Structure 1
Amino acid sequence: MNDGFPLIRLRDRGGWLVGRDGVVVCFFIHRGYSEVGPSIWRAIETYRRAIPPGSLNWYTSDDGDMVPLDGTGWEHNREEVAGRMGGGGRTAELRESPSETGGYQVEYYGRRLDSLFHDAPVTTLAFTFPTEYLVEQGVARLQSLALELARELPFNFGYASFALVSTQGSWAEGDWNITEALLARYPGLDAPHARRFSSVLGTRALGPYWLTFLGQPLLGQLGGIDALRNALPFPEVSVLPMDGDRVLVTLDEWPDPIDTQTKSVPPQYRALARLMEPFLFQYEGEDLPLDRSDTNRWIRRFL
């Protein structure tokens, strides 16, 4: 398994690290932030306990600066996430490094569903891990942790995947020729951008992943658990019911990047993609900008 993970280091023109290999665990919750703040904070605390001490060192302050994450900073973020004060939204960004992409980070974007500033807002929470964590702790530990995080959250969609770990989608600032080649070779490599999708995803899906979390209304639109089991009759697949009319679909034993130079895309990914197709996110309109057209193609890469 270890040999299957590519070593990725993407740098911008200034030489700063803007993307690296790792694992992302991301949840989209179609509820206003005021409803889910306490459960979001419990999930963040669970993540913090699970990673090595001192892995989160900085956070984004109210004025946008990166400041040290000391006790005062931790309380500030708790109030930002779980507090009752009013406002148009919530943001918590916790990082390993103040200037470069690190392996450990949290991104939380609490949205109001009636927001006039977003096309289809959805409260979003993302956690990252370096590949070293997966190798040292093992797949079973990471899968168990992802499930523990998910139990706190009334998600409608979520996933865990091998990924281009970055800060606010900063992987896009690297050499695009390198990034494009990586995404073409490894369809199991996610290109996460929690902040962007928190403004546009709504109740739609982003596709099939190693771990795919489905809640309402998406699960019902797909036909429920029975439809999932019928569509995924593969020995590698498990479908685990969760409380709150939610389900975890596990497509493989590990977060396989799926190196197409050595293997074909496993059929269970294509089967789940076909079931999801009517509910996949797509930018719409004529003459879309190149980045949006590329995003549409990438989301449909398993079809």
Structure 2
Amino acid sequence: MRENIPIIRVRNDYGDVAVRDGVILCFFMRRSHGELAPAVWRALQAYHRAISPASLNWYGSDDGDTLPLDDQGWEHIRKTLLERPWAGAGRLASLSDTPGEAGGYHFDYEGRQLDHPLSSRKEGVTSGVSFSFPTEYLLEHGPAHLRALALELGRELPFSFGYASLAFVSHPGVWYGVRRQLLDLLQRYLGLDLYLLSETSDVIGTGARGAYWLTFLGQPLLGRLGGAEALRDKLPFPEVTFEPMESERLLLTLGEWPDAMDTEKGAVPPQYRALARLLEPYLCEEGGLWPPMNRDYMHRWLRRLCP
């Protein structure tokens, strides 16, 4: 329900907002950048049309600077996406509403070349794209609008897995700097996603990351789960809706609104538990050398809805 969505602002040592509440939409595609580029460009344009024209103001340049997203910047993004035939690994596009503090609108794309020597050594490497929104966008337009937009974007992208969820929104990787401040929030709000597109893209392959408000299932994952009809039998909850998509894909919606799953107010909804258990054998492994969010911590956190 909308009244249960928390307002979150996590500040760094300088007083800047490093993390805020919002909604994240991610898709993972076991394809190389050259195959994906036109679809990613169309999805970016659809995202930009759906939000305020002034919502994306900055982009990351090739040399690491953050520059104003003017006409020249858009042309740079277009050329980067459409005229680079391949990419070994890395962030090919990063756009946001603010250059410093965490705003609500972010677009990030990790384009990979799966047959590149660096990528081919990693069994789980894949391309990934994310779109974020401030919570205010969800509250103003409603969950049906955001779901329809997510479905529109998903139709453009040949995903193997995707999701939309309430989330701790930040610039890519910035939450690492305030990770200790996030620990209590992560323990309380089980429905808020902590995402790092680059890391997940390195390991997810054709697996899953968890059960979310909107869970997009592509191939071969949907087939491994038994297909859409088998999932209907295994998820017999009135809150769950099934939206078949082309190319034998499926969108599962686990409720009218995304759920923050505030442990101080109630239990995890049973449909989330049931889907999480079905996906558990296919969950990816994340986590690195950033204590306390190391590999063991992230293993437990990604499975927080499974017990």
TM-score of the superposed pair, with normalisation by structure 2? 0.93
1:143 equivalent in structure 2: 147
Q: CA deviation at 1:258?
A: 1.0
Q: Kindly provide the CA deviation profile for residues 48-101 of structure 1, in whole angstroms up to 9, marking residues without a partner as x.
A: 000012110110101010011111110111111122444424510001111121
The letter for the 2-side match of 1:51 is I
1:199 equivalent in structure 2: 202
1:234 equivalent in structure 2: 237
Change (3 A) 1:97 1:218: same
2:61 equivalent in structure 1: 61
What is the distance in 2 between the residues matched to 1:31 and 1:183? 32
What is the distance in 2 between the residues matched to 1:48 and 1:82? 17
2:188 equivalent in structure 1: 185
1:101 equivalent in structure 2: 102
Number of aligned residue pairs: give it. Answer: 300
Secondary structure class of the residue paired with 2:7: coil
Q: Can you give the 5+ residue segments of structure 2 that lack an aligned partner in the other structure?
A: none
What is the distance in 2 between the residues matched to 1:88 and 1:66? 22
1:29 equivalent in structure 2: 29
The equivalences for 1:130-279 within 5 A come to 130-174=134-178, 176=180, 178-279=181-282
The letter for the 2-side match of 1:103 is G
Q: CA deviation at 1:278?
A: 1.0
Change (3 A) 1:49 1:284: closer
Q: Kindly provide the CA deviation profile for residues 269-288 of structure 1, in whole angstroms up to 9, marking residues without a partner as x.
A: 11111111111112599xx9
The letter for the 1-side match of 2:5 is F
Change (3 A) 1:290 1:162: closer
RMSD of aligned alpha carbons: 1.7
Change (3 A) 1:133 1:283: closer
Contact 1:10–1:171 under 8 Å retained in 2: no
1:83 equivalent in structure 2: 83
What is the distance in 1 between the residues matched to 2:292 and 2:267? 30
Structure 1 stretches of 4+ with a deviation exceeding 6 A read none
Secondary structure class of the residue paired with 1:198: helix
What is the distance in 2 between the residues matched to 1:124 and 1:175? 23
Q: Can you give the 5+ residue segments of structure 1 that lack an aligned partner in the other structure?
A: none
Q: CA deviation at 1:175?
A: 5.6
Secondary structure class of the residue paired with 1:106: strand
The letter for the 2-side match of 1:234 is F
TM-score of the superposed pair, with normalisation by structure 1? 0.95
What is the distance in 1 between the residues matched to 2:129 and 2:209? 15
66-75 or 85-94: which moved more? 85-94
2:115 equivalent in structure 1: 114
Q: Kindly provide the CA deviation profile for residues 208-236 of structure 1, in whole angstroms up to 9, marking residues without a partner as x.
A: 00000000111111111112111100000
Work out the percentage of aligned pairs sharing the same amino acid.
Answer: 53
42-51 or 97-106: which moved more? 97-106
Q: CA deviation at 1:116?
A: 3.6
135-144 or 88-97: which moved more? 88-97
